């Protein structure tokens, strides 16, 4: 009898270990009917978990959901010291009212004008619902080293979710970010180029991953960069450029005490916003179809953050229109646009032929470039590669070389691209071309 008891006593630890529910470290998680958020305990200053589910909300160091028990992820102490975390949700009132509060705060401490402050305030909201947005919003603040530019990243660090201000970063640094934390990156360094620039632009477009340790790293995050020069990224990147100019009055200075007060007030309000609006943002169908991509994508992301406020959404679209016009001008003067313009000249010819050679397209393109004062001549090989990049196939037509068949499908594709870039001659051709008229009405 005693031997059996001893034997069971020896086996019981192994059985307990075998039946123990595994602990799952988490930096936050979103479920279909709730979420887990990292918060800072007001008593110990340690990180703990805030759980929202259909039945209740609770703050615990361990949260059990189904067969899993979640615990706070062990972050590097330097990260937990640098980031702000909320302590508990506090009622934020109306979202429009909170956006106005944040906008006034930004104007007071950084001198941003009304439109720029609105875009930046919505960027702050976007950082709190980043997981359900189609892409990671990205803003670039441009200005010289003044109080306005120095204080802006410090202020955003008080407002954005899991924000960290970086003096420099490289591709390896991006790959080392904790999975699931979705940190808001605020990067201030002289030049962002090469692989890092490519990765940040990919992050702004959404849906891209990169390989890390045999797995995939989601680049989906909100990013703010601070620079003294303009236009460091491709016009195709979903980046809003915001000038930081000298304010008419000196900005109110920030200090450690003021920053702590701002963070305490708004981190808790914004946590409440995250809890109440995550599903609403996810279900948003807001769009701004008259804007060109990528500003249309930016409008969709930021406008989705205020789904109950159509006035704010309209003000956002109006604020993005200047950047949209700039992108359209950039596209209309690109080589791709000039290639399309050369193709249109053949399609709009009353005596349109059945085909056109790449060499002929090249001659017409160079003629357009010279007429605009460009001192360059492209070769047919280069024009052929641009045509292929635009989705057009070239083939051997006759002894004169390769070219394109000007079939109706090509005609329609060229006109669609001409409106997307946009090419000036597609508007000039509205009178006589049925496709131009159709595109214009659309």
Q: Examine the pLDDT at 18 and tell me if it is beyond 80.
A: no
Candidates 66, 33, 70, 75; CA nearest to 50 is 70
By the 10 Å C-beta count (0-12 exposed, 13-18 middle, 19+ buried), 368 is classed as: middle
CA distance 194 to 30: 34
Q: How far is CA 357 from the centre of its chain?
A: 41
The Cα 243–Cα 3 span in angstroms is: 81
Rounded to the nearest 5 degrees, what angle is found at the Cα of 161, between the Cα atoms of 72 and 174?
A: 80
pTM for the whole thing?
0.79
Q: Who's near 414: CB < 8 A, 6+ residues apart?
A: 340, 343, 344, 347
Q: Which residue has better confidence, 7 or 74?
A: 74
Q: Which residue has the higher pLDDT, 187 or 200?
A: 187
* Residue pLDDT, tens place only, 90-104: 999 999 999 999 999
What is the pLDDT at residue 236? 58
Residue 270 pLDDT level (bands cut at 50, 70, 90) = very high
Q: What are phi and psi of 206, to 5 degrees?
A: 85, 155
430 pLDDT more than 60: no
The ranges assigned to domains in the chain are: 13-74, 95-327, 333-441
Determine the pLDDT at residue 422: 75
Structure tokens at 239: 């980046």
CATH 3.30.950 fits 95-327, yes or no: no
CA gap 216, 46 in Å, rounded = 30
Q: What is the pLDDT of residue 247?
A: 64
Q: Is CATH 3.30.300 the classification given to domain 333-441?
A: no
Exposed, middle or buried, 190 (CB in 10 Å: 0-12/13-18/19+)?
exposed
- Here the tokens at position 52 are 């929202």
pLDDT digits (tens, 9 = 90+) for 284-319: 999 999 888 888 999 999 999 999 999 999 999 999
Q: What is the mean pLDDT of the chain?
A: 85
What does the pLDDT read at residue 9?
Answer: 36
For the segment 102-119, what is each residue's pLDDT rounded down to a tens digit?
Answer: 999 999 998 899 999 999
């Amino acid at each position: 009898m005693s031997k059996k008891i001893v034997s069971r006593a020896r086996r019981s630890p192994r059985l307990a270990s075998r039946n123990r529910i595994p602990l799952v470290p988490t930096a936050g998680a979103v479920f279909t009917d709730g979420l887990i958020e990292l918060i800072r305990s007001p008593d110990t200053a340690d990180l703990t978990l805030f759980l929202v589910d259909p039945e209740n909300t609770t703050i615990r160091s361990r949260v059990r959901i189904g067969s899993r028990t979640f615990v706070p992820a062990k972050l590097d102490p330097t990260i937990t010291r640098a980031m702000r975390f909320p302590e508990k949700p506090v009622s934020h009132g109306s979202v429009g009212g909170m956006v106005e509060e944040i906008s006034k705060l930004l104007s007071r401490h950084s001198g941003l004008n009304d439109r720029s402050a609105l875009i930046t305030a919505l960027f702050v909201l976007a950082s709190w619902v980043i997981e359900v947005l189609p892409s990671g919003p990205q803003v670039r603040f441009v200005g010289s080293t003044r109080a306005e530019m120095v204080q802006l990243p410090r202020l955003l660090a008080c407002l954005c979710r899991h924000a960290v201000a970086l003096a420099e970063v490289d591709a390896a640094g991006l790959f080392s970010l904790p999975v699931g934390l979705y940190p808001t990156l605020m990067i201030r360094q002289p030049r962002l180029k090469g692989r890092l620039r490519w990765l940040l632009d990919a992050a702004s477009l959404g849906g891209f991953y990169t390989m890390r340790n045999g797995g995939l790293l989601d680049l989906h995050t909100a990013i703010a960069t601070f620079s003294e020069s303009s236009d460091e990224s491709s016009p195709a990147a979903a980046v809003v450029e915001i000038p930081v100019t000298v304010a008419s009055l000196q900005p109110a200075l920030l200090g450690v005490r003021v920053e702590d007060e701002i963070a305490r007030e708004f981190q808790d309000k914004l946590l409440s916003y995250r809890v109440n609006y995550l599903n609403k943002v996810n279900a948003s169908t807001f769009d701004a179809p008259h804007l060109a991509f990528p500003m249309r994508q930016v409008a969709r992301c930021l406008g989705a953050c205020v789904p109950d406020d159509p006035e704010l959404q309209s003000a956002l679209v109006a604020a993005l229109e200047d950047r949209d016009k700039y992108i359209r001008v950039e596209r209309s003067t690109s080589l791709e646009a000039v290639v399309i313009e050369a193709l249109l000249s053949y399609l709009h010819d009353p005596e349109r032929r059945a085909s056109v050679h790449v060499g002929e397209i090249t001659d017409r393109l160079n003629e357009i470039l010279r007429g605009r004062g460009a001192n360059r001549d492209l070769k047919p090989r280069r024009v052929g590669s641009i045509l292929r990049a635009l989705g057009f196939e070239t083939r051997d037509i006759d002894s004169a070389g390769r070219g394109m068949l000007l079939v109706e499908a090509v005609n329609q594709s060229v006109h669609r691209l001409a409106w997307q870039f946009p090419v000036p001659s597609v508007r000039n051709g509205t009178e006589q071309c049925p496709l131009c008229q159709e595109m214009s009405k659309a």
